[in-house]
Structure 1
Amino acid sequence: MIQQIYPAPVHSYRYELNKDFQFAAAHYVPHEEAGACRRLHGHTYFVNVTVVGNELNNLGFLVNFQEIKNLIHKRFDHTLLNQDALFNEEDPNYFPTTEVVARTIWEVMQESLNKMANKPRCIQVFLRETPTSYVVYRPQEEDFQ
């Protein structure tokens, strides 16, 4: 993986964890105005997630790095994103665009983090789709409710 400098979200938590990983997936955007993206094609997505919190768990981790990777990689690697139940072809808010995939990664991550006793939060997902295109998703405070 190439070294990458990511935008740094501002926060007041004691700990900040960043995890880089990648997954390969295909998708298409099911809308006539999507141009070439309407056709089935694939990407090697590069992901960085930022997790913060004030308390460590009983192992001394904010979150185990491997758990973060497995949560996303196992679900999305070598798949057709359009076939995942988290996306659909009726509502543009659920088309597997880079923006929606970034938000969806956050949703999957935060759902898992909510089950942890130390209550970490994912405050940023950086998703690179191509060498020249990426999306940053940052949840708002009400998204954690």
Structure 2
Amino acid sequence: MLQQIYPQVQHPFSYELNKDFQFAAAHYVPSDKAGKCQRVHGHTYFANITVAGDKLDETGFLVNFSTIKQIIHDRFDHTLLNEHEDYFNNEVPNLFPTTEVVARTIYEMIAEYLASTENKPVCVQVFLRETPTSYCIYRPVELLRQLQGGRF
């Protein structure tokens, strides 16, 4: 895997963990305005998840790298994203499996897991590359505003 440099997000935490991984998945965007993307096609998605916090868990981790990968990879790898009806919906544009929505969904999945941990780290950024020349970044702006006392 190539070394990557990602945009950084400001946060008030002592620790920041970044996990890179990839997964292969197909999708289509069910809109007449989506052009070629309305046909089923696939990508090798490349993701970087940024987690931050102040407290380590009982193993000395902020969060285990493999857990982050497992949450996303095991669910989405070699699947048709449109079939994941718990996350995506072909009738609601804000839930079409576009790169933006997939990035937000990854954030929500990771955030839900982190909230269940004892040390409660937070996901502050999801970087999702769909092609070698196209990517999306999702940042939970409301969370970051809260963490930074509204100075974001």
User: Who is 1:133 aligned against?
Assistant: 134
Give the AA of the match of 2:78. H
1:53 partnered with 2:53: yes
Q: For residue 42 of structure 2, give the secondary structure of its aligned residue in structure 1.
A: strand
| Structure 1, unpaired ranges of 5+ | none
Q: For residue 129 of structure 1, give the secondary structure of its aligned residue in structure 2.
A: strand
For normalisation by structure 1, the TM-score amounts to: 0.97
User: Who is 2:19 aligned against?
Assistant: 19
Please give the alpha-carbon distance, in whole angstroms, between the structure 1 residues aligned to 2:64 and 2:127: 19
Structure 1 segment 59-74 matched on structure 2, within 5 A:
59-74=59-74
| Structure 2, unpaired ranges of 5+ | 147-152
Kindly, what percent of the aligned residue pairs are identical?
65
Please give the alpha-carbon distance, in whole angstroms, between the structure 2 residues aligned to 1:142 and 1:62: 18
For normalisation by structure 2, the TM-score amounts to: 0.92
Measured against aligned partners, the alpha-carbon deviations of 1:83-118 in whole angstroms (never above 9, x if no partner) come to 002100111110000000000000000000000010
Give the AA of the match of 2:135. Y
The alpha carbon displacement at 1:74 in A equals: 0.2
4+ runs of 1 displaced by more than 4 Å?
none
Aligned residue pairs, count: 144
User: Who is 2:118 aligned against?
Assistant: 117
The alpha carbon displacement at 1:12 in A equals: 1.3
